[in-house]
Amino acid sequence: MQVRLPKRTFAEALAMLERIIPNRASNPVLTNLRIEATGEGLRLQGSSGELDLELTVPAEVDGEAVRLVPGHLIGQVVRNLPGELVELGLEGEQLIIDSGSFSTQLATTNPDEFPPLAFDAASVARLPARELGRALARVRYAASGEDYRAIFRGVQLELHPGRLRSVASDGFRLALYDLPLALEVERKFVVPARSVDEIVRVLERTEGDLNLGLAGAHLILAAEGFRMAASLMEGEFPDYERVIPPEFALEVEIDAAALKDSLKRVKVLADRNNHRVDLVFGEGRLEVVAEGDYGRGVERLDVETRGGGSMVLAYNAEYLEGALGPVGGKARLRFSGAASPSVIQDVGDEGYLAVVVPLRV
């Protein structure tokens, strides 16, 4: 086997795989990268046990071979190589990595020990990779980091006729994103949030369309150069749509960045336990207020209001910041009062909708 490829291509692929390959694992074979010289290029596989990733990178390949090498070690070696070009070879069970003035021999192991990764699935949908990435990335923040309700540690993907929806919640807040899509199926499944993070990272770098498939309890994503399989969680989200109020008493439009900056400033003074900030709306204006043991902070902002004149609402600042996070330009905020969930939308991206429940004060 002889393989030649640009260092940068190789290093970038390894960096993505290193994010998935565990440093330690109850099954130690998973700490390895499976490296295969094929007619299609250099094929690299890694698995966390929960998420499998295969990347095939273009390379000059002479002869076929497949070996396992310690995943993080080869990542470190390749990142630090001095030359622009990398040459790989096999001497017995040693993988030789040459680049410029530097030469490495790495011990490899038998590939038969590596769990076979299965990426075959009938395609359920074909869609632009970046749009799926966006749908996942926009809602990811709202997933729970706690064990409180296990299903909320995942992101729900829903396939409906005509659209794909991503949803995340931790029981106190909710984010969803609707993507119009020529679909005919009706399916719901929940992907662990940790896998979602890695899927988003891969999709961000992917041009063009991908195939989305389902095989048993796995979501399969495949496009030119990569294939992924993510184990799905058992169960689905409880009916969340009933928490979204159909009507609102007050609607406000405001520059999202200005409100985020203001929350960041004001929350420094907030109570350390509940992070409470108050939004005090008057005609055409908003005061963002926080008060804690060490003092009080107030910021006055101009806003466009529709509906009821004045209203006072209290929130956990972190939740409000989270909901505004994905909004780039103008945010639309809709309120029904201190006892009802509030809704935040992105004026420039109608697919996004977040629900935040005010604090009871």
**Residue 4 lies near a second copy (rule: CB under 8 A):** no
Give the interface segment with a second copy, choosing from 45-53, 212-220, 292-300, 323-331 (CB under 8 A). 292-300
**Residue 231 lies near a second copy (rule: CB under 8 A):** no
- Using the rule CB under 8 A, which residue among 28, 64, 102, 217 binds a second copy? 102
- The footprint of a second copy on this chain (CB under 8 A) covers a number of residues equal to 32
Q: Which is nearer to a second copy, 190 or 289 (CB)?
A: 289
**Residue 109 lies near a second copy (rule: CB under 8 A):** no
- Using the rule CB under 8 A, which residue among 2, 9, 38, 105 binds a second copy? 105
CB of 275 to a second copy, least distance (A): 14
- Using the rule CB under 8 A, which residue among 224, 294, 310, 361 binds a second copy? 294
**Residue 107 lies near a second copy (rule: CB under 8 A):** yes
Binding mask 152-171 for a second copy (x = CB under 8 A): --------------------
Give the interface segment with a second copy, choosing from 16-24, 79-87, 142-150, 176-184 (CB under 8 A). 79-87
Judge contact between 178 and 163, C-beta under 8 A.
yes
CB of 65 to a second copy, least distance (A): 17
Show the 3-state SS of the chain. Answer: CEEEEEHHHHHHHHHHHHHHCCCCCCCHHHHEEEEEEECCEEEEEEECCCEEEEEEECCEEECCEEEEEEHHHHHHHHHCCCCCEEEEEEECCEEEEEECCEEEEEECECHHHCCCCCCCCCEEEEEEHHHHHHHHHHHHHHCCCCCCCHHHHEEEEEEECCEEEEEEECCCEEEEEEEECCCCCCEEEEEEHHHHHHHHHHHHCCCCEEEEEEECCEEEEEECCEEEEEECECCCCCCCHHHCCCCCCEEEEEEHHHHHHHHHHHHHHCCCCCCEEEEEEECCEEEEEEEECCEEEEEEEECEEEECCCEEEEEEHHHHHHHHCCCCCEEEEEECCCCCCEEEEECCEEEEEEEECCCCC
CB of 321 to a second copy, least distance (A): 13
Give the interface segment with a second copy, choosing from 103-111, 120-128, 144-152, 198-206 (CB under 8 A). 103-111
Give the interface segment with a second copy, choosing from 72-80, 164-172, 173-181, 194-202 (CB under 8 A). 72-80
Binding mask 253-282 for a second copy (x = CB under 8 A): --------xx-xxx-xx-------------
CB of 347 to a second copy, least distance (A): 22
Question: Under the rule (CB under 8 A), what is the footprint of a second copy?
Answer: 70, 73, 76-77, 80-82, 94-95, 101-107, 261-262, 264-266, 268-269, 293-301
